[in-house]
A and B are shown apart, each in its own frame.
Chain A
Amino acid sequence: MTTSTADQTYFIPEPSRWPAIAVIGLFFTVLGFALWMNDISMGPISTAIGGAILAYLLFGWFGDVIDENLSHKYNDEVDRSFRQGMFWFITSEVFFFITFFACLYYFRNISLPSLGGTGHLAASHMLWEGFTYTWPLVNLPDVTNYTQLIEPMGAGGIPAYNTIILLSSGVTLTWAHWGLKKDNQKQLVLGLIMTVVLGLTFFTLQAYEYIHAYKELGLTLNSGIYGSTFYMLTGFHGFHVTIGTIMLIVITVRSMKGHFTEDNHFAFEGVAWYWHFVDVVWLGLYVFVYWL
């Protein structure tokens, strides 16, 4: 029998060491990146230390939160704070991706047409005479510092399969959610496992596609703006898929342990929102990066 004394007051955690550890971990990670990029030998060491601290942190901090949740310290108001916090976090993530989509739009519809001689800001007669704009941009204005793109990425094949895979993973996740709401643990766990498997499949196919692009298509970070935007958009998406998959694995394990009930499963919903967000980003990617 659980009593509801916890409903009376808002849970304020005791002083916690995790935020400070998070900051130290982040500091060493990014400091290491900065040094690493400048070929200073301390860089990788610093990043490794920072990364290890961050991994330890995630176990510790989320472990505390899970314990607090299981001991019913969170009332409805705390739950609402978590939900709203997650909502605003995803909002900021949306704007992060909008940035890259906006850049793609800007290159394709504003800067490159001008460079190719369209409109009254046309610059082709001043900079690179004879440069014509096509998308995907295979012939760069000046290829001196860049490698030649051989063939752009098509929309068929792996990207199309990946679209189907991610969309199905949204379906299996929702099916798992239905299971949770019906208090059917088997359906919940099965749905989550299917989602994780689909996520990992997506990740594997994407890795295979990257290798294919680098080795056979000449599509690299260094092959001009097409490669730059392609990898920036799909790369950050892939990074988010990775985080999402890790979060899915965590809640799968928690579901197996029976942590979630019909009316107390913010962790599940937070991860589900995140996963659907990653899904929607992929749809945008498929349309604007691969297809059009």
Chain B
Amino acid sequence: MSAVIHEDHHHDEPPRGFKRWLYSTNHKDIGTMYLIFALVMLFVGGAMAMLIRAELFLPGLQIVNPDLYNNLVTDHALVMIFGMVMPAAAGMANWMIPMMIGAPDMALPRMNNMSFWLLPAAAILLLASLFVQFIPGTGVPVNTGWTIYPPLSVQVGLGMDLLIFSVHLLGISSIMASINIVTTILNMRAPGMTMMKMPLFCWAWFFTGLLLIIVMPVLAGGVTMLLFDRHFGTSFFDAAGGGDPVLFQHLFWFFGHPEVYVLLLPSIGVLGLVIPTFSRKPLFGYKPLVYFMGFLFALGLVVWAHHQYTIGMSLGVTTYFMIGTILISIPIGLMIFNFIFTMWRGSITFETPMLFAIAIILMFSFAGVTGVMLAVVPADLQYHDTYFVVAHFHYALIPGAVFGLYAGVFYWLPKWTGHMYDEKLGKIFFWWTTLSFNLTFFPQHFSGLAGMPRRIVDYNIQYVEFNQISSIGAFAFGLSHLLFLYIIIKTVKGGEKAADKPWEGAQIGTPGLEWTLPSPPPFHSFTTPPKIQ
């Protein structure tokens, strides 16, 4: 007879020293680590972008050699996607989802820790793949772009193997994090917190998690075949042996296109909280928004080949992918309308998160318009692999994903740190970053339409003006992030005390339980589940 000894679970003091972080099983600490990691990677990927733009300031070769340039282009994409946007979104999920739904922690806390710590390990391998080219005898640098298409990627040296294994670790990390988040949402909701009462952010991450569970194994399979082609004599992507290099493109984009929604959906979730809060009005059409996200999730999985119109697919196939892709504008457009109608006749105030939210609606819609242009096969045959595409996806990903995360950072910083951020500096950061972003990428539409190809270190003299405007914008954009860093550090260190509910309108609509906790919340929250109505 073993009477269970009631262990003391109420010690609210976090453990001390490095063990608190390395051995953590606390969703808030792990969320913090994710966010700090993302911030570091933002500067790593940003430094790569600065080098790229510095090189492109003038035609000809100035700073980096072509292979290093292409390697920087490759790693800029991978670092920003896997190192910055996904970890930042996962950090917010870790911090907020358990508090929103009234759970004591994530469903599987130890696995949660492992999904985080895999990221630094993967980042080391990824950066090693960049720097290994400086060691003689390691072969050609990773000059393929982040899509690592064969046959070029088969010819690259040691760097490609390090990159492939880095992708494997990132994949394991994403799948584990997604399993954790989906399980938390399905199983850990407090009594009364039904799925349809959850804040939109939870729904957004629910679909994001499902997408990752489905597509990351496909990428893992694809790069594994690439690895075998490189080292073990298989012929998956070599037509001479009966394979097909195009197959890798299908596998890559079956992952790559849903990945766009993986980056986008968490930010839409943030918008679904920020806009009602600062409009002081419930979210317009909560249920349809959830359905649209489900629709987006399903459609996103079946339209991948619009990235490959020029490879010579049959007419029927390209037509299918064109129609499917254009259909995506329906759920996205409806979401945008929902957000606009939420603001309609609301009493709006323009705090920094709201400014970002409005800018996202405007600029992301613009990316949607260029996206429809790119979806049309005959038009895309002209735009393919030009700077028009670069401009399009930076308009989609920076406002769509990154600005959404910035909105989330400003929205939740008071909750996380217990201090209000400096509103004036926040607004300066918003205007600085938004204007410089547009200065960087708007001209690239023109240089692209004029025919400037992407991923090339040198360019024709006719594109000089556009590139110089772009580079100046990029330097300003990069510089604005030092202010971002300063604001965050200043808020963490001190500032005006934040109330439990720092935003007046935070409880309007479909509120979560996070605002019922103090700011900052205690180390362990909701150890006994709260009851909702």
B250 touches A106 (CB 8 A): yes
User: Given A121-B314, A145-B241, A225–B235 Cβ distance below 8 Å?
Assistant: yes
B188 touches A103 (CB 8 A): no
Proximity string of chain B (213-233) to chain A, C-beta cutoff 8 Å, 1 when within and 0 when not: 111111011101101101111
Q: Report the minimal beta-carbon distance from B530 to chain A, rounded to whole angstroms.
A: 13
A228 touches B314 (CB 8 A): no
Tell whether A80 is near chain B: CB-to-CB under 8 Å.
Answer: yes
Q: Is chain A's binding surface mostly helix, strand, loop or mixed?
A: helix
B161 touches A37 (CB 8 A): yes
Q: A1-B3, A19-B114 are in contact. List 18 more A-B contacts (CB 8 A).
A: A8-B528, A13-B109, A15-B26, A16-B25, A20-B22, A33-B161, A106-B244, A106-B247, A111-B247, A120-B314, A121-B312, A140-B242, A221-B234, A222-B233, A225-B243, A227-B234, A231-B234, A232-B224
User: Given A34-B158, A88-B213, A141-B242, A5–B105 Cβ distance below 8 Å?
Assistant: no
- Provide the residues of chain B in CB contact with A8, threshold 8 Å: 528
- Provide the residues of chain A in CB contact with B121, threshold 8 Å: 23-24, 26-27
- Provide the residues of chain B in CB contact with A232, threshold 8 Å: 224-225, 228, 234, 236
- Nearest residue, chain B, Cβ from A94: B217
- Nearest residue, chain A, Cβ from B174: A92
- Provide the residues of chain B in CB contact with A2, threshold 8 Å: 2, 4
Proximity string of chain A (232-267) to chain B, C-beta cutoff 8 Å, 1 when within and 0 when not: 100000000000000000000000000000000000
A20 touches B236 (CB 8 A): no
A37, B124: Cα distance in complex, Å: 19
- Cβ contact of A225, chosen from B124, B220, B241, cutoff 8 A: B241
- Return the 3 tightest CB-CB contacts between A and B, nearest first: A225-B242, A99-B221, A222-B233
- Provide the residues of chain B in CB contact with A291, threshold 8 Å: none
A37, B161: Cα distance in complex, Å: 8
B220 touches A96 (CB 8 A): yes
Selecting from B175-183, B271-279, B422-430, the interface stretch reads: B175-183
A14 touches B236 (CB 8 A): no
Q: Report the minimal beta-carbon distance from B141 to chain A, rounded to whole angstroms.
A: 14
A227, B233: Cα distance in complex, Å: 10
A135, B95: Cα distance in complex, Å: 53
Tell whether A213 is near chain B: CB-to-CB under 8 Å.
Answer: no
- Cβ contact of A12, chosen from B25, B233, B244, cutoff 8 A: B25
- Provide the residues of chain B in CB contact with A80, threshold 8 Å: 187
A9 touches B9 (CB 8 A): yes
Tell whether B1 is near chain A: CB-to-CB under 8 Å.
Answer: yes
Proximity string of chain B (60-96) to chain A, C-beta cutoff 8 Å, 1 when within and 0 when not: 0000000000000000000000000000000000000
Proximity string of chain B (235-267) to chain A, C-beta cutoff 8 Å, 1 when within and 0 when not: 110111111101100110000000000000000
Proximity string of chain A (201-229) to chain B, C-beta cutoff 8 Å, 1 when within and 0 when not: 00000000000000000001110111111
B242 touches A88 (CB 8 A): no
- Provide the residues of chain A in CB contact with B222, threshold 8 Å: 99
- Cβ contact of A111, chosen from B103, B182, B186, B244, cutoff 8 A: B244
Tell whether B125 is near chain A: CB-to-CB under 8 Å.
Answer: yes
A103 touches B114 (CB 8 A): no
User: Given A92-B216, A106-B244, A141-B239, A38–B158 Cβ distance below 8 Å?
Assistant: yes
Chain B: interface residue total (CB-CB under 8 A): 87
- Provide the residues of chain A in CB contact with B217, threshold 8 Å: 92-93, 95-96, 99
Tell whether B107 is near chain A: CB-to-CB under 8 Å.
Answer: yes
Residue contacts A-B, CB under 8 angstroms, 24 given = A3-B4, A5-B4, A8-B528, A10-B105, A12-B9, A12-B527, A20-B22, A34-B165, A35-B158, A37-B161, A38-B157, A77-B188, A81-B188, A82-B108, A88-B182, A88-B213, A95-B213, A106-B247, A107-B244, A115-B244, A140-B242, A141-B240, A221-B234, A222-B234
A85 touches B23 (CB 8 A): no
- Provide the residues of chain A in CB contact with B517, threshold 8 Å: none
B250 touches A20 (CB 8 A): no
- Provide the residues of chain A in CB contact with B1, threshold 8 Å: 1
Q: Report the minimal beta-carbon distance from B314 to chain A, rounded to whole angstroms.
A: 6
A13, B524: Cα distance in complex, Å: 12
A252, B241: Cα distance in complex, Å: 45
User: Given A15-B20, A92-B214, A225-B242, A72–B233 Cβ distance below 8 Å?
Assistant: no
- Provide the residues of chain B in CB contact with A225, threshold 8 Å: 235-236, 241-243
Q: Report the minimal beta-carbon distance from B446 to chain A, rounded to whole angstroms.
A: 35
Task: Kindly count the residue-residue contacts between A and B in the assembled complex, taking CB atoms under 8 Å apart.
Answer: 232
User: Given A12-B105, A84-B187, A107–B242 Cβ distance below 8 Å?
Assistant: yes
A92, B182: Cα distance in complex, Å: 13
B113 touches A9 (CB 8 A): no
The winner among B2, B139, B168 for most chain A CB atoms within 10 A is B2
Q: Report the minimal beta-carbon distance from B405 to chain A, rounded to whole angstroms.
A: 25
Tell whether B288 is near chain A: CB-to-CB under 8 Å.
Answer: no
- Cβ contact of A95, chosen from B108, B110, B214, cutoff 8 A: B214
- Nearest residue, chain A, Cβ from B128: A31
Tell whether B345 is near chain A: CB-to-CB under 8 Å.
Answer: no
- Nearest residue, chain A, Cβ from B122: A27
A227, B105: Cα distance in complex, Å: 48
Q: Report the minimal beta-carbon distance from B184 to chain A, rounded to whole angstroms.
A: 8
Tell whether A6 is near chain B: CB-to-CB under 8 Å.
Answer: yes
User: Given A10-B104, A33-B165, A226-B242, A77–B114 Cβ distance below 8 Å?
Assistant: no
- Nearest residue, chain B, Cβ from A119: B314
A208, B316: Cα distance in complex, Å: 45
Proximity string of chain A (52-74) to chain B, C-beta cutoff 8 Å, 1 when within and 0 when not: 00000000010000000001100
Proximity string of chain B (159-198) to chain A, C-beta cutoff 8 Å, 1 when within and 0 when not: 0011011001100100100111011101110000000000
- Nearest residue, chain B, Cβ from A91: B213
A85 touches B107 (CB 8 A): yes
- Provide the residues of chain A in CB contact with B117, threshold 8 Å: 19-20, 23
A5 touches B6 (CB 8 A): yes
Tell whether B19 is near chain A: CB-to-CB under 8 Å.
Answer: yes
Tell whether B24 is near chain A: CB-to-CB under 8 Å.
Answer: yes
- Provide the residues of chain B in CB contact with A161, threshold 8 Å: none
The winner among B1, B118, B231, B244 for most chain A CB atoms within 10 A is B244
- Provide the residues of chain A in CB contact with B221, threshold 8 Å: 96, 99-100, 103
Tell whether A89 is near chain B: CB-to-CB under 8 Å.
Answer: yes
A112 touches B242 (CB 8 A): yes
- Provide the residues of chain A in CB contact with B230, threshold 8 Å: 37
- Provide the residues of chain A in CB contact with B220, threshold 8 Å: 96
A14 touches B243 (CB 8 A): no
